[in-house]
Structure 1
Amino acid sequence: MSDGFTEHYFHTQDDLRLYYRDYGDRRSPRPPLICLAGLTRNSKDFHDVALRYAETRRVIALDYRGRGRSAYDPDPENYQIPVYLTDVMHLLAVTHTHRAVFLGTSMGGIVAMAMTVAMPAALAGVILNDVGPEISETGRQRIAGYVGTEVRVSSFEQAAEMWRQNYSLAYPRLDRDGWLKLARATFTEDSVSGGIRLDYDLKLAVALREQSKSPLPDLWPLFRGLRNVPLLALRGALSDILTADTLVRMKREHAGMIAVTVPEVGHVPMLDEPEAVTAIDSFLESL
């Protein structure tokens, strides 16, 4: 065990080797918490969240294909939601998870919503972190504009300063330690050429840029599939992905949804904000 979790690998339907972290007590009667990261993110984002809940339940955090310690896909066209969804279903099978709470950040929330079609009985609850069935085009194009751009620096400290300069508007409350923590979750040491590089396959941009040329599919049917599932939706008050108007409509469509706006943070809340912690604590306790 390392830092409160064990490390595991499994093979997908196309024989790609994927990595996940496993925290907590597998024998807990509470439904496990499955953590699904954003587009370019990985399991490191959920370390503190996982430790917070590992005393009472199992927590599993996945590295999608092409991220973190999972293998990079030789066909970048596979970097899309239907493939990730199938990978998550394989993760549930290998971890013997029949029913779980899904915590999805950004793209991970879309994967969680897609579970309503693929495996609806597996959803004991869903937490959507700054994502909904409508994605602001401004934020969508912003993300498409930077994904796949190579960034190499000499140290995590340099990476932290670069990220602070680029994203301080989204995280005005973040201090020096916070930026360094974010950098360590975003970058990794390059064992081949040295230095520090982004911790994902830059070829993610291949599929993303093709997808960004077309309107997003209608995700409201997937969201409506959550109507009978306990649901918590978090929104960063400064988000350019999930608008306040979309959050209001989500509440109309799902009367039981708990909606919480996290102040002074953009896309995405890091889930250590007091408002987010309180909301997740209360939501999990209510299940």
Structure 2
Amino acid sequence: MDRSEFREHLFRVQDGLQLYARSYGLAASSGGTKVPVVCLPGLTRNSRDFHELAGFLASPTGGGHFVISLDSRGRGRSERDDDKRHYTVAMETLDLIAACAHFGVEKAIFIGTSRGGLILHHLVGLAPTLIAAVILNDIGPVIEIEGLLRIRDYLNAATGPASWLAAPRYLQSIHGADFPILRDDDWHGMARAIYRDEGGLPVADFDPAIAAQLHALTADMSLPELWPQFDALTGLPMMVVRGEHSRLLSETTVDEMKHRHPDLVTVTAIGQGHAPLLHLDGPRQAIAAFVRR
């Protein structure tokens, strides 16, 4: 199996909903010996975000890990939930526990991007023995309202790209100022990760009800902080990747995370905003070194 290959899985979780996942490399049942890596995408993103990183971590150069990348409920190829109230971090944490059971994972290194990282803050309270180590991608116990409002606005925009040809430039027009390091092929890759094809046109690959939950946000809203949950993680190996231009995770919050977890590995994704592409130079090498420890 080369880095571009993966296996596809469909399985049911605790309430009967069918979820989708990709796996890379050798599972323990097939002779794999390394601690598996489980990748959790952001609010409206999916397993395709991790394709290049997962392939790298599964390769001999990246450590030869068994890597699982999930589509959360309502995203990617996982089923949309008829009960929109189930699109919560609490329910998605239960889904993660069910996914680990399906794959026979007893302990893993978890990589959580944004929403995925919030799920890990909750996982430690429900199934702490599952966690070998944690990598938080541009997320922490404090979320900056400015960044969340920006996510609200572009996810709920009335327009989108008019064609696949226009999709990369459309994304660059929204995110380019925060991601000056990205090249043309990076924008094309982002478009392939975010959109699915419907009748030859790109369509955002998530249930619109997920983005609609953000409508109630206002600039003066006080968001709950997760310091108690973060403190429960501080006995574990942990890394945080922060985008240099992130509007969601502040340097002040990272400093406090470091104060509470002196062994925290901190990485800045130069030239990136929220949320950093982890397969690019810098984050990729730092993650490979971290999971190799």
Residues 84-138 of structure 1: per-residue CA shift (max 9 Å, x gap): 1011011011111010000001111111121110111111000001110001110
Is 1:51 aligned to residue 52 of structure 2? no
Distance 1:7 1:158 in 2: 29
CA 1:73–1:138 in 2, change beyond 3 Å: closer, same or farther?
same
Q: Paired residue for 2:46?
A: 42
Q: 1:229 corresponds to which residue?
A: 236
SS of equivalent to 1:38: coil
Deviations 1:120-166 (A, max 9, x none): 11110000011100011100111122334454545322111111111
Which amino acid is the alignment partner of residue 106 of structure 2?
H
Instruction: Note if 1:242 corresponds to 2:228.
Output: no
1:54 alignment partner AA? A
The farther-off stretch of 267-276 and 243-252 is: 267-276
Structure 1 counterpart of 2:215, from 209, 218, 235:
209
1:199 aligns with 2:200: no
Relative to the length of structure 2, the TM-score reads 0.92
TM-score when normalising by structure 1: 0.94
Q: Give 2:279's match in structure 1, choosing from 272, 275, 280.
A: 272
**What RMSD in Å do the two structures reach over aligned CA positions?**
1.7
User: Corresponding residue for 1:5?
Assistant: 6
Identical columns (%): 36
Deviations 1:216-242 (A, max 9, x none): 323111110111110011101110011
Out of 168, 173, 179, the residue aligned to residue 160 of structure 1 is 168
Instruction: Give, as a single letter, the amino acid of the residue that structure 2 aligns with 1:80.
Output: T
Matched residues in 2 for 1:228 and 1:22: separation? 28
| 2:127 paired with 1:119 | yes
Secondary structure at the counterpart of residue 157 of structure 1: coil
Show structure 2 runs of 5+ residues with no match. Answer: none
C-alpha contact 1:80 1:207 (8 A) present in aligned 2: no
Which residue of the partner structure matches residue 24 of structure 1? 25
Alpha-carbon distance between aligned partners in 1 of 2:236 and 2:159, rounded to the nearest angstrom: 40
| Residue deviations 1:257-284 (CA, integer Å, cap 9, x gap) | 1111121111111012322122112111
Q: Is 1:157–1:180's contact at 8 Å kept on the other side of the alignment?
A: no
- Partners in 1 of 2:175 and 2:155 — Cα distance? 15
Misfit runs of 4+, over 4 Å: 210-214
Q: What stretches of structure 1 of length at least 5 have no aligned partner?
A: none
